[in-house]
Every structure is written in structure tokens, then in C-alpha cells.
Amino acid sequence: MAFRVVLVGRPNVGKSAVFNRLYGRRRALVHDKPGMTRDALEVAAVTGSGRPYTLVDTGGLDLDAAGGFAQWTSERALHSVADADLLLFVLDGIVGLLPEDKRLTAKLRALGKPTVVVWNKVDAKAAEQGISDAHALGFDRIIGLSALHGTGVDDLEDLIDAALPPDLDADTRTAPLPIAIVGRPNVGKSSLVNALLGGDRVMVSEVAGTTRDPIDVVVERRVHQPSAPSADVQPDGSEGPRAATPADVRRYLLVDTAGIRRKGKTHDAAEILSVLAAKKSLERARIAVIVFDAFEGITSQDATITGYAEEAGCGILLVANKWDLIEKDRERCNRLKAEVQERFVFARRAPFLPLSTVTRRSVSKLLPEADALAQRYATKMSTGELNRLLQKSFERQSPRGRNGRDMKIRYAVQSGSEPPVIRLFADRAEQLHFSFERYLQNRLREKWPLDGVPLRFVVRKSE
């Protein structure tokens, strides 16, 4: 059963134009004349990330057409709306909210279907400024869009993508999570890779490169389900041990293990090689495991490498290896923990794992930590919640641009994910002042679980 995305709205708000933008081809007729309606049109569409869905245009739901609610109750439109998995409620931002729109809102809310409000025609100033009216309708997801110019269409596709049920996305779910293990020479990266491969719950298969010197290594981990109270009755009612299903196996791609093993002949060469290897593998990873030496403490090189991981947009997991060498010294352990908080400024609140590849202390915690981090890394912020939070934040501290001048931010959407990117629509395209950006970062991190996840802001000028 294909996921049905259904466009609704009164006539002439631009549903056909939105339809054409999403479908990518001009199949439907677009007319400027009021009252122009068409038959429901249904096509097989795909999102930007290539996931299929069915896109349906209902024509116009004209509550004031001859016969009052005649058109609304017409079987075809009603069926389309009733069968919808996601409604795109299109409004005309230039005209603003009409009484019909409000009545339609009441109808749609009564249906309780997941709904995205599409505030169209934001290429016009009036529409751009009126978008706050759309928030008053009480729907969570609101997109400012110009079907004419194409702005906002990516964001809408992202929302459709996010609404698709996860089982349509089996490929990405079973694709291994790419992890880069980086750090200075001799902190124990190779030992950590070996420890991960040697554990009793991992299996290894080698990809690319030669068997002797594999480049990327896939590690599998069986995820043990919590057992039911009675040992031989399973949650699904069946008896006996449950066979592992693909969902019980997690896969990880350890990026460039050959680079980890490659050693420089001199100390300097080793340092340079480790930084080069780190930069290259961070580009291909989603999670960066930053290994440092608990005995030596944190060095500026460790902070530099963490900075690269941030720049590369990786989720960050800090590992203090060789914990066995200091664990008996309570005070020293606590000092190191405090130092982690101070030194890794942007990675503050990144998960921190003290570990030893010699005693194997906490080695088995690393992959589950990476999973939890990957989940935070994929955080999706709803447009409604995001804008409410930002409005509140702006009341306490008003936005400032890089040069310190006040800035007006009208609206925000999460325009990218993994890692999350927030696009801010402002009166000018200027980067945020660093202290204001830090303030916003903190507000967002209070609301969403983003520990260890880099968060980016992009400022766009809104006309």
C-alpha cells in the first residue's frame, strides 16, 4: 500500500502548482481564473531521497460552491481525504486566511490526520510576513513555500520524507552505521578496533582492500531483546528461543581501519599521518569516536581532531582509553572528567566513555553508545515546535548578526538532517553573532536530545 499524500485547500491557492513542483513535471493544468477545478489526479511520486509515495490532488474543496458543502461531500474528494496518510493543506499567503480556510481547518482538524500547512506564494512580501497567521491554525507543521519560484519545496519534501513510515526505508535502516575512530598516535585506536572485532558479540566481514589490510570493516552486533518474565514464553506468545531477525542485528562500518594501523616512522610523521587519516575518514563517517589517552591527559591535538570531527558534521563520542592506568586514583579520574567538560567546548555534553582495551572495561558499551548517538543525530524538529521555541528565545535575547547589529528572524525550519541544519529566514543573509548563536544552540539543546550532535544554522534573506 503506497503512502498517500493528498493536497487540499480551496480553489486557486496554488495546489496544482505545488503538485507540479512535487511531481516535477507539469502534468496538471494551472489556471489563474477563480473557480477553476479539475478532477482528482493521482500520480506515483518520489521524495528527494528517492522514496516512493502516491501524490493526490483533490482539485478544489470549495465549501461555497453551489450546494454549499456539496463539493466537500462529493464522494471523490471525500474518499481522497479519508484515505490520506498525510494532508498538505495549501493556503494562499497573499490573500491570507479567508473564512472558508478557517472552516476547512475545522473540518481537517476534526479528521485528525497528520497535516502539513503549506503557506504558498511566499515570493510575495505580504505572504512572507503573514506566515504567523498560519501558526494560529494550530497545526504543528508549517512550511512557507513559493510554488512559483520553487523555494521551500525541498523543505516540504523533507517533511514528506519524515512522515513516511520507517519500514519503507528498510535499506537505510539496515545500512551499516559509518564510524570513524580517530585520535593521536598511540592512544590505542588499533587496540580498540581489535577489541571491537574480538568481542564475542561481533562478527567481521571485510569490505574493499585486501584481506590482509582491509580498509573498511563491517562489524555486526546482536541486540539482545529483554527476555520475557518466564524464560521460555516470548513476548509474541510463542514458546522457545526466538530466532534472530534482521532487526536484532545492528551493523557498523568502521571506516579506514588500514589508516588506523598505518604508522609513521618518526613521531612527527605519525602525528601528521594520524591527522590526515582522521580528516579523510571523518568525511565518510556519521559518528566520530575520538580516542585520547587517559594517562597522558587531553592535549591540544585531541581538541584539534575533535574540531575536525565537528567541521565534518559528525556526531561525537569521546573515549578516554587506558583508563586502567589511572582508575585507582579517584581524584585523577575526577580531574580528567572535569577537564573533558572544559576542553572540548563545542563537544560539551558529548557522551564520554572511560575505557580500557587491556582490561576490556566498557569496550562493550561503545557500539550501544554509538547507536544512541546516531539516533540523536537523526533528530527531527517539528516546524511548529521549533518556531514556538525560537519566538520564546527571541523574547529573552533578540537576534544579532555577525557584526552585532540587531536582526529580524521571521521563521525557521529544519532544512537538513544527519546532522540537523536549521534554516532561519531573516531580514538579511548574515551569519549569526557567535554569542547569539551559542545562546540559540543552548536553547535547542535544552529542548531536543542533541548531546554530541553538531547543530548548524543557515541564515537566508526572506523577501
Chain contacts with ligand GDP (rule: CB under 6 A): 183, 185-191, 260, 321-322, 324-325, 356-358
Could you tell me the smallest distance in angstroms from the CB atom of residue 308 to ligand GDP? 16
Could you tell me the smallest distance in angstroms from the CB atom of residue 322 to ligand GDP? 4
Residue closer to ligand GDP, measured from CB, 65 or 325: 325
Residue closer to ligand GDP, measured from CB, 60 or 188: 188
Could you tell me the smallest distance in angstroms from the CB atom of residue 19 to ligand GDP? 55
Residue closer to ligand GDP, measured from CB, 326 or 455: 326
Residue closer to ligand GDP, measured from CB, 350 or 363: 363
Query: DSSP assignment, residue 145?
Result: -
Could you tell me the smallest distance in angstroms from the CB atom of residue 192 to ligand GDP? 7
Q: How far is CA 424 from CA 56, 90, 411, 436, 449, in A?
A: 30, 22, 6, 13, 20
Cα–Cα distance, 437 to 431 (Å, whole number): 9
DSSP helix/strand/coil, 298: coil
Cα–Cα distance, 314 to 292 (Å, whole number): 17
DSSP line for 36-57: -----EEEEEE-TT--EEEEEE
Could you tell me the smallest distance in angstroms from the CB atom of residue 225 to ligand GDP? 31
Residue closer to ligand GDP, measured from CB, 146 or 321: 321
Query: Can you read off the three cell numbers belonging to residue 354?
Result: 572511560
Could you tell me the smallest distance in angstroms from the CB atom of residue 119 to ligand GDP? 52
Residue closer to ligand GDP, measured from CB, 279 or 447: 279
Contact 285, 312 (CB under 8 A): yes
R_g over Cα of the chain:
26
CB atoms within 10 A of CB 329: 11
Q: Residues 6 or more apart from 421 whose CB is under 8 A from it? A: 414, 415, 456, 457, 458
Residue closer to ligand GDP, measured from CB, 183 or 313: 183
Own/partner contacts of 42-51, CB < 8 Å, gap of 24 or more, are: 44/2, 45/5, 47/157, 47/160, 47/161, 47/164, 48/154, 48/157, 48/158, 48/161, 49/161, 51/161, 51/164, 51/168, 51/169
Cα–Cα distance, 384 to 412 (Å, whole number): 9
Cα–Cα distance, 289 to 274 (Å, whole number): 14
Could you tell me the smallest distance in angstroms from the CB atom of residue 381 to ligand GDP? 36
Residue closer to ligand GDP, measured from CB, 69 or 295: 295
Could you tell me the smallest distance in angstroms from the CB atom of residue 254 to ligand GDP? 13
DSSP helix/strand/coil, 304: helix
